[in-house]
Structure 1
């Protein structure tokens, strides 16, 4: 397991940052969406917990028999939407990034902690969303037999727009840190700093920075050879919102779950928006990667 950041902010500063992000997100996208995305409605949580408890009592599998499924990719790619849908299944134990028992500031606490969670589960599937550890997905798949992974991706413009709305210039600042040689941050995982040579990161705007980061992180799907593996499924956010039932059926079949219409009930698409004025060089890289991802998603 990669080490945690060497210079983490204090707990108070970390909490303050999260509050600022939530306020920004509520202002730009609306309070209702914030509540739905972070599953803040206690009624939903109670109903979900009760349904799963009843399923465990009647159908629970022996400890150690659960299948691990890792949902990976890049933040603001629709992963929360997919988790909400799959969490409707009583057979699924969903472990999102805000699960403090398994994650510390959105990173996995350690392989030993992960294996303990998997070993204690009595559900058919344990769905884990380690986005910050996506570059380690091959190692994670090797930890337990039958494990699988979903790599989710979203159109670069929609994702960059959503990223900047919620996190500001965070991706751009991360790229500057990587270019300066900081390998302690999770954003640096799997990325060769030489890939940033020739880019003027000091004058780059946040949307172009978010697009370049999108490119570097999603290229890991190919760099890690995940496109050649039968235990990894590439999931397109665009295809999911266009045909929720078809994608939900494909995902459920891949995970070994029975399909239910409720899996696609939470899927919704926003209005179409124009392309962002991203730097032409970055746009060219993103368009080339998009073409590869579209082929992989159809396959």
Structure 2
């Protein structure tokens, strides 16, 4: 998979400290706005949960582990703050799954896939039937990942969420990051960021129709939701049989039905233990102040994604 160098490729101690500093700031902001308990749950910081998952996986390998080279990669992609952690918290608990998180240095560096060769080696070395990865910052390359002849049979889950709820969560945790990305894209510097990689000219032109210098972080988060989720259409993902659209709101409304669809799609036996952590509830868009023109774009695209998701049946 060919892609530009990592946008934060500032090597050495200075780059590492800068990345760590940004991460600490994000965690402090998230703890203040949502509470320490939510931070621990969202970022999987409880070592007991990690140990339980690792122990189940090790026990499964000892009893049922298959031959190396037979694992199927499953890529969880889409946009940050779209409910991927909630979904993975159940699916990666299946002992048949080897989960490689965003911080797993075997395949990831600063939330980006390191390189194709290393990814191939790690997946082929697995004795699990499913290797689960969450390269959200590489979602724009998911078609190339799926088409790789070195890792055939892969699957992708494109997860999306109602745009206003996602925007509020995004700004709560990451502040103005989406706004800064849109400003870079509008000035022609987007290709140096993962947010601007492989964006079609139509999406760049769309960003430029708005005054992103005067835009609020919430409006920017909704506009970025549009630009990012339009990749489903731009890359032809909805027509692919190896891609499944997953709605966060549908999952929380009916966890058993929706997670069972995911399990069947990726090749796992459905088990209530994989969705029992999800409290079934109806979600409602929050009241936030967003540019009406941007909101109209988001609503139109969300309706289109919903139509595609409902109309598409995957084996």
| TM-score for both structures, normalised by structure 2 | 0.92
Deviations 1:220-258 (A, max 9, x none): 001100111111000000000000000011000001110
Identify the match of residue 93 of structure 2 among 83, 88, 91. 88
Deviations 1:188-233 (A, max 9, x none): 0222322322210011000000000000000000110011111100
Report if the CA contact (8 A) 2:249-2:282 is conserved: no
Unaligned runs of 5+ in 2: none
In the alignment, which residue of structure 1 is the partner of 2:301?
A: 289
In the alignment, which residue of structure 2 is the partner of 1:220?
A: 231
Corresponding position: 1:175 with 2:182: yes
Residue 257 of structure 1: SS of its match in structure 2?
coil
Unaligned runs of 5+ in 1: none
Identify the match of residue 47 of structure 1 among 49, 52, 55. 52
* Aligned positions of 1:1-299 closer than 5 A: 1-2=2-3, 3-5=5-7, 8=10, 10-143=15-148, 144-182=151-189, 183-191=191-199, 192=201, 193-268=204-279, 272=284, 274-299=286-311
Give 1:117 shift.
Answer: 1.1
Separation of aligned partners in 2, 1:265 and 1:97: 24
Separation of aligned partners in 1, 2:290 and 2:264: 37
Deviations 1:162-209 (A, max 9, x none): 000000010000000111111111000222322322210011000000
Q: Structure 1 pair 271/217, CA: closer, same or farther in 2 (3 Å)?
A: closer
| TM-score for both structures, normalised by structure 1 | 0.96
Separation of aligned partners in 2, 1:170 and 1:291: 26
Give 1:7 shift.
Answer: 5.8
Residue 69 of structure 2: SS of its match in structure 1?
coil
Report if the CA contact (8 A) 1:74-1:153 is conserved: yes
How many residue pairs get matched? 299
Give 1:266 shift.
Answer: 2.3
Report if the CA contact (8 A) 1:74-1:131 is conserved: yes
Report if the CA contact (8 A) 2:159-2:247 is conserved: yes
Deviations 1:41-82 (A, max 9, x none): 111111111111010011111111001110000000000111
Separation of aligned partners in 2, 1:59 and 1:103: 27
Report if the CA contact (8 A) 1:91-1:124 is conserved: yes
Report if the CA contact (8 A) 1:6-1:184 is conserved: no
